Amino acid sequence: MHNRKSYVRRVSAFVLLLVLALPATAARSKVQEPLRVACVGNSVTYGYGLRHRDRDAYPVRLQQMLDATYGSGRFEVGNFGHSGATLLFKGHRPYVKLPEFRQALDFRPDWVVIHLGLNDTDPRNWPDWKEEFIPNYRALIDSFRVVNPKARIAICLMTPIFDRHPRFQSGTRDWHEQIQQAIRKVAFGAKVQLIDLYTPLHSRPDLFPDALHPNPEGAQILARTVYGALTGDYGGLRLPPLYGNGMVLPRDEHLLLEGQADARRSIKIVLSQGSKTIEERDAFSWADGSWFVELPHMKAGGPYKLTLTAHPLPAGHYRNYYPEHYPFELQNLIKAKPQTLTVDSLYFGDVWLASGQSNMELRVDQCNTLEQDLADARRLSQRIHLYNMPARARTDAVEWSDSVLEFTNRLQHMDFQGWTAATPEAVSRFSAVAFNFARVLADSLADVPIGIICNAVGGSTTESWVDRSTLELELPNILADWRGGDYGQPWARGRMTQNIRRAITVPEGSPEGTQPRNKLQRHPYEPAYLFEAAIAPLEHFPVKGVLWYQGESNAHNVELHERLFTLLEQSWRQFFARRWDCEFQKKPALPFYVVQLSSLPRPSWPAFRDSQRRLADALPDTWMAVSSDVGDAADVHYRTKRPVGERLALQVLCHTYGKALESQGPTPRYCVLGQNHTAVMAFDHADGLACTRGFELAGPDGLFYPATFEIQGDKIILKAPEVRWPAAVRYGWRGFTDADLRNSAGLPASTFMLKIPSE
């Protein structure tokens, strides 16, 4: 410890000598001269790669935003970025030895924004000198405090480095994260503000042509992020996207109500019913504008009214957060008028999320039980609450327009349609599987409002629903050239290419050397896209569980899907659990209820269905509903969705709600050799076994033959004349199968294949 302190003192002394060597500058009048903001950094701050750096670099955009809010002449923003600069003093290009460092100190800034560290991920730097990063950063901060002891200093989490970077997997990915952690420690130890430049841009790889430097739109996001952090202006009081009239929140459990406001606001939350106040709570927004409040257990019911009012904190409270200065523009914010938001109809019940691709997306008005479903909607319209999030543009076999390409890039592909009662009109346009699931729950859980969110996208891939950080860590190769590689299903890659052709190809007749408008054009099928566009907006919304129906666009590669679906569950559970990382409660694991692929004459589907069965058995809190008996040999979008929703509901009632009922079809428990060249299979969920066809046996040679069988209680005795020594049994092993093993509840068995032990 003594050696470390001595080292820090030596480094600080070195920097101090640099500071003292600067020419003296006359003291400025704070009344007459603008408040000076120094943007210190590397090539991202400098504006490397921007054609019009003098117009588009983020410090320039920051100056424009400050001028627009507070008038010209109140701020002076200086760009002191230098390409290739390292924070490390022994790095290959130390910032403290560059002319921009001396210029920044001579600027005598009132505010300092530091964004360094990206170049420290270079193998010339981090492996050897990482232990010096924190003391070097502290010394850099101290240098600005020497020239202006009252300077307000903010340091930034680094902007992303994407998987296309040539050193991403060789070290950059891991070192980048280590440096981010070090920056957090510096902010805590030096008592400076921390600005997150990573999160707003990590979901926008299309804004980084070389995987490292943002384009003008990316620089604008940087400027807006820094502007909000410096001024506390985050656009006022806001609730997450899914909060609104008609919403359902969890019953019988603690609830964190979260949102956004301008920094340092007092938030009053009032929950009422009629003229009666049920609960009043107070919260305040932090420097980043976030706020949360804990609500008590609420019984199922409603409607309630939720009123939120934001007031500026009193001056004394403000000084508790920033005691050293009280900038004039923040005084202006404090004088802002109170803001109020109201949710007029709020219910407490259970909320489920329905995601996947086209068979989850398929609407009630496209199915063969339309009249029956609409009759149920009339009966249950006040007990079921729908939130539909359909895609704003379908992935049909068309070339998308410029407007679709643009809003897709901006992660605006989903249409947030708001909460509505399950009226026949609303239900007809809603997912048939999801509605029929909610219908059974509403009938089974008396007086419990049921909320159901559907954000399925036709044709979407499993990898599109997994978050980027998980893929970067666990399966980074799938991110690289997904459109041209072989990770994605050829059909999905081809449809993506067709949709975005306008952006990624050069029009005929263009001059030689013309480049495509956007080689990095986004699409819902690409890895991580739908997590970023359809799941990330749900971060503040508490769902009870997930209904998942997807796989058609990944059935070409069973082994890859097994990895991807496992990552998807891990990804979502971690994401939705963040809001429960608090002292009062640990939320149980998010349950997944999966629909197995139906029947269709595609050769890979039997193995895929069996893989889904094994995944449901192996993964925690995962259960499956079988749909192979309702498939259509001529249409992947079979129209009999009502029983699928019912089967999902049975699984949920059994495993989440603890109801004593039969929830699934016969499942194989074991298979052993029997007498006289037979195989004996035992089943669970086997009350009233019935079957006429679907079994095959194979010997050690691996050739399968149709098997005859006899049902004896919970066992089936199998035999095939061609197989003397049974070594494997399979059931329903056709793309489109008419296998019909069921139990007394009428629930079908899954496709399966099992090896038979030789002894």
Model pLDDT for residues 300-319, shown as the tens digit of each residue: 999 999 999 998 876 655 54
Euclidean distance between CA atoms 640 and 6, whole angstroms: 75
pLDDT at residue number 9:
55
Contact 357, 594 (CB under 8 A): no
What tokens does 545 get? 């569980």
Tokens 């992660």 belong to which residue? Answer: 411
When pLDDT is cut at 50, 70 and 90, the band that residue 1 belongs to is: very low
When pLDDT is cut at 50, 70 and 90, the band that residue 587 belongs to is: low
When pLDDT is cut at 50, 70 and 90, the band that residue 12 belongs to is: low
Q: Which of 453, 481, 420, 456 is nearest to 163 (CA)?
A: 481
Supply the mean pLDDT for the chain: 92
What would the mean pLDDT of 38-67 be, rounded to a whole number? 97
pLDDT at residue number 582:
47
**Does residue 375 or residue 319 have the better pLDDT?**
375
Backbone angles phi, psi at 644, to 5 degrees: -65, -45
- All structural domains of the chain with their residue ranges: 2-231, 247-347, 349-475+495-655, 667-755
Q: Which pTM does this prediction carry? A: 0.94
In this predicted structure, the answer to whether residue 676 has a pLDDT above a threshold of 90 is: yes
Percent of the chain with pLDDT over 90: 86
When pLDDT is cut at 50, 70 and 90, the band that residue 466 belongs to is: very high
In this predicted structure, the answer to whether residue 16 has a pLDDT above a threshold of 60 is: no
pLDDT at residue number 514:
85
pLDDT at residue number 490:
96
Give me the DSSP letters along 538-590: GTT---SEEEEE--GGGTT-HHHHHHHHHHHHHHHHHHHHGGG-SSS--PPPP
In this predicted structure, the answer to whether residue 146 has a pLDDT above a threshold of 80 is: yes
Q: Which of 515, 528, 408, 397 is nearest to 460 (CA)?
A: 528
In this predicted structure, the answer to whether residue 27 has a pLDDT above a threshold of 70 is: no
Task: List all residues 6 or more positions away from 427 whose beta carbon is below 8 Å from its beta carbon.
Answer: 364, 373, 374, 377, 386, 435
pLDDT at residue number 2:
47
- Residue-wise pLDDT tens digits, 402-432: 999 999 999 999 999 999 999 999 999 999 9
In this predicted structure, the answer to whether residue 255 has a pLDDT above a threshold of 90 is: no
- Residue-wise pLDDT tens digits, 535-563: 999 988 899 999 999 999 999 999 999 99
Q: Write down the CATH number for the domain with range 349-475+495-655.
A: 3.40.50.1110
pLDDT at residue number 540:
81
In this predicted structure, the answer to whether residue 73 has a pLDDT above a threshold of 50 is: yes
pLDDT at residue number 509:
82
pLDDT at residue number 758:
86
CATH topology (fold) of 2-231: Rossmann fold (3.40.50)
In this predicted structure, the answer to whether residue 578 has a pLDDT above a threshold of 70 is: no
pLDDT at residue number 318:
52
With residue 278 as reference, give the H or E element that holds it: strand 276-284
Same fold, 2-231 and 349-475+495-655: yes
What would the mean pLDDT of 612-619 be, rounded to a whole number? 98
170-176: long-range contacts, CB 8 A cutoff, minimum separation 24: 170/123, 171/121, 171/123, 171/126, 171/127, 172/121, 173/472, 173/473, 173/476, 175/120, 175/121, 175/126, 175/130, 176/118, 176/121
When pLDDT is cut at 50, 70 and 90, the band that residue 6 belongs to is: low
**Does residue 324 or residue 302 have the better pLDDT?**
302
Euclidean distance between CA atoms 347 and 387, whole angstroms: 14
In this predicted structure, the answer to whether residue 11 has a pLDDT above a threshold of 70 is: no
- Residue-wise pLDDT tens digits, 333-363: 445 678 999 999 999 999 999 999 999 999 9
Euclidean distance between CA atoms 363 and 445, whole angstroms: 24
pLDDT at residue number 336:
65
CB atoms within 10 A of CB 114: 26
Q: What is the 3-state secondary structure of 456-485?
A: CCCCCCHHHHCCHHHHHHHCHHHHCCCCCC
pLDDT at residue number 537:
96
What would the mean pLDDT of 207-225 be, rounded to a whole number? 98
pLDDT at residue number 53:
96
Euclidean distance between CA atoms 472 and 467, whole angstroms: 9
Q: Write down the CATH number for the domain with range 247-347.
A: 2.60.40
When pLDDT is cut at 50, 70 and 90, the band that residue 510 belongs to is: confident
Burial bucket for residue 244 (CB in 10 Å: 0-12, 13-18, 19+): middle
| Cis peptide bond N-terminal to 666, omega within 30 | no
Euclidean distance between CA atoms 10 and 7, whole angstroms: 5
